[in-house]
Structure 1
Amino acid sequence: MSDKLFQVVKPGLMTTIQDLGRTGYQEYGVVVAGAMDDYALQIANLLVGNSRGEAALEVTMMGPTLKVMKDAVIAITGGNLSPRVNGQPVAMWKSIAVKEGQLIEFGQPLEGIRAYISVAGGFGLPEVMGSKSTYLKAKIGGLNGRALEKEDVLYAGGDTQAVIGRSLHYDEIPKYKKELTVRVILGPHQDAFTEESIQTFLHSAYEITQQSDRMGYRLKGPELTHKTTADIISEAIPLGGIQVPANGQPIILMADRQTTGGYTRIATVISVDLPLLAQAVPGTVIRFEEISMNEAHEINRRKEKLLGILEKII
Structure 2
Amino acid sequence: MSAGVRLEVLAPGAYASLQDGGRRGWRRIGVPWAGVLDSRLMRIANVLVGNAEAAPVIECFDGGLQLAARGGAVRVAVAGDATLEVERGGERVPLAAWRSLTLADGEVLRVRRLGAGRIAVVPVEGLALPVVLGSAATYARAGLGGLGGALSGRALAAGMRLASAAASGAPERVLPLPPPLDGGPIRIVPGPQADHFTDAARALLVEAEYRVTAEADRMGVRLEGPVLEHAGAREIVSDATVPGAIQVPGNGQPIVLLADAQTAGGYPKIATVISADLGRLAGCRPGQVLRFAAVDAVEGERLARAAEAETRALLASVRPLRGEGVDLAALYAGNLVSGVVHALSDEYRPLPDVEHGPDGASS
TM-score, normalising length: structure 2:
0.80
Alpha-carbon RMSD:
1.9
Partner of 1:112: 117
Matched to 1:59, the amino acid is C
Distance in 2 separating the partners of 1:113 and 1:309:
24
CA pair 262-162 structure 1, distance change in 2 beyond 3 A: farther
1:91 equivalent in structure 2: 96
Q: Alpha carbons of 1:157 and 1:232: their partners in 2 closer, same or farther (altered >3 Å)?
A: farther
Q: How many residues align?
A: 308
3-state SS of 2:130 partner: coil
Report the alpha carbon displacement of residue 96 of structure 1 after superposing the two structures with TM.
2.1
2:47 matched to which residue of 1? 46
CA contact (8 A) 1:19 1:131 kept: yes
Residue 26 in 1 paired to residue 5 in 2? no
Q: What residue ranges of structure 1 are gaps of 5+ in the alignment? A: none
Structure number with bigger Rg: 2
3-state secondary structure, aligned to 1:107: strand
Checking the alignment, whether the CA contact within 8 Å between 1:241 and 1:269 is kept in structure 2 is: yes
**C-alpha offsets along residues 73-95 of structure 1, whole Å, 9 cap, x if unaligned?**
32101242x22111212111112
CA contact (8 A) 1:37 1:78 kept: no
Q: Which amino acid aligns with 1:167?
A: V
User: Measured at CA, do residues 212 and 251 of structure 1 come closer, stay the same or move farther in structure 2, by a change above 3 Å?
Assistant: same
Identity across matched positions, percent: 37
What is the CA–CA distance in structure 2 between the aligned matches of 1:227 and 1:28, rounded to whole Å?
31
Q: Distance in 1 between matches of 2:194 and 2:11?
A: 46
Say if 2:154 is the partner of 1:173: no
Aligned residue for 1:124, secondary structure, equals coil
* Alpha-carbon distance change, 160 to 268 in structure 1, aligned in 2, over 3 angstroms: farther
Task: Tell me the residue number matched to 2:162.
Answer: 154
Q: Secondary structure at the match of 1:54?
A: coil
Which amino acid is the alignment partner of residue 214 of structure 2? Answer: Q
- More strand, by proportion: 1
Tell me which moved more, 280-289 or 7-16. 7-16
**Counterpart in the other structure of 2:227:** 223
Q: What do the CA deviations read for 1:29-71 (whole angstroms, capped 9, x no partner)?
A: 1111111111111110111221111110011113222111232
CA distance in 2: counterparts of 1:109 and 1:214, whole angstroms: 17
Alignment check: 8 A CA contact 1:18 1:35 kept: yes
Deviations 1:241-289, CA, capped at 9 Å, x for gaps: 0001111110000111001111111111111111111211110111100
Quick check: 1:29–1:259 contact (8 Å CA) kept in 2? yes
What letter matches 2:10 in structure 1?
V
Distance between the aligned counterparts of 2:65 and 2:53, measured in 1?
23
Q: Return closer, same or farther for 1:72/1:4 CA change in 2, 3 Å cut-off.
A: closer
SS of the residue 1:108 aligns to: strand
1:67 alignment counterpart = 68
Partners of 1:159 and 1:97 in 2: CA distance: 7
Query: Following the alignment from structure 1 to structure 2, what is the Cα–Cα distance between the partners of residues 246 and 151?
Result: 43
Query: What per-residue deviation string (whole Å, max 9, x for no partner) do you get for residues 142-191 of structure 1?
Result: 12211112211110158878441x22242x424276xx520111111111
In structure 1, distance between residues paired with 2:157 and 2:221: 26
Contact residue 18 and residue 134 of structure 1 kept, 8 A: yes
Could you say what secondary structure the match of 2:278 adopts? helix
Spell out, residue by residue over 1:4-38, the C-alpha distance to the aligned partner (whole angstroms, 9 max, x if none): 22112223221110111111111111111111111
Cα distance between partner residues in 2 of 1:146 and 1:53: 20
TM-aligned CA distance change 1:163 to 1:120, over 3 Å: farther
* Residue 283 (structure 1) aligns with: 287
Distance 2:285 2:311 in 1: 26
Q: Assess if the C-alpha contact under 8 Å between 1:49 and 1:163 holds in 2.
A: no
